[in-house]
Amino acid sequence: MLFESQYNPPAQFFAELAGTDALWLECHDNYRKQTYRNRCLILTNQGVKPLTVPVIDGNRSEKVKTSAIEIDYRQNWVHQHWRSLQTAYGGTPYFEYYADYLHDIYLQKPARLFELNLAFLRFYLRCLRLSTPVEFTTDYHPQYASPLVLDRRDCLTPKAAAAPEPDRKSVRPYPQTFGKDFVPGLSILDLLFMQGPAAGSFLA
C-alpha cells in the first residue's frame, strides 16, 4: 500500500494498513499545503481542532519535495502542540501511558518534516502491534499500473475527514472525550489515548 508521509495520521490510515504486506512511503512527491503531511486533527471541548507543523518554503511558487521540506522551529509550535494535547487529552485513561514517548519524539526536533512523521509512524506501528514493514519509493510515478500497488496517496484529507469512503476500511466507534456523537477522521492519538493497548482492535 502506498501513502504519503503524514503527521500524526488519522486512525483510518492504520485501519487501511492492517493486513497489508508492506507500507510504501512516497519520498518523491511535491509538498502540498492543507493536507495531512503537516497537520492532524484532535478533539477538544470546542470541537475538532487542527494542529499544523509550520514549514520553511512551503509557500514557494516552485515545487519542493515533501521529503526535503524543513520544519520551521522559529515558531514555538512544539510547545503549542504539546499544550493542546495536554489540554484535550490530559484526563484520558492512557495519556500518561504514552506521553513521555511522544514528548521525546517532539524534543528530538528533526530538521525535516518527513523525519518527524516517520518517527511518529514507527512509534504508532509498535503501539498498534502492526508488523507492517515500511519501505520508501525510489522515484515518482503519477500513477501505478500494477495491481500489486494500492495507491492511497492523498485519499485521506482533512477536508474529507468527516465523510470517510464507504468502500474503505474504517475505525470502529469508541468512546471519545467530548460530545455524544462519534467523530471520525481524528488523529490516531485520539484512539490511543482513549483505548491504550486495545486500540488495534478498533481498526476494522
Q: Where are the domains of the chain?
A: 2-202
**Cβ atoms of 191 and 202 closer than 8 Å:** yes
For residue 160, the model assigns a pLDDT of: 66
Q: What is the model's pTM?
A: 0.93
For residue 147, the model assigns a pLDDT of: 80
Q: Which three cell numbers stand for residue 175?
A: 468512546
- Encode the chain (204 residues) as per-residue pLDDT tens digits: 999 999 999 999 999 998 899 999 999 999 998 999 999 999 999 999 999 999 997 666 568 899 999 999 999 999 999 999 999 999 999 999 999 999 999 999 999 999 999 999 999 999 999 999 999 999 999 988 778 889 999 999 988 655 555 445 789 999 999 988 999 999 999 999 999 999 999 996
CA geometry: angle 152, 88, 97, nearest 5 deg: 80
Q: What share of the chain is helix, strand, coil (3-state, %, to 5)?
A: 35, 15, 50
For residue 58, the model assigns a pLDDT of: 61
d(CA 135, CA 121): 12
For residue 204, the model assigns a pLDDT of: 67
For residue 184, the model assigns a pLDDT of: 93
For residue 57, the model assigns a pLDDT of: 77
d(CA 45, CA 154): 29
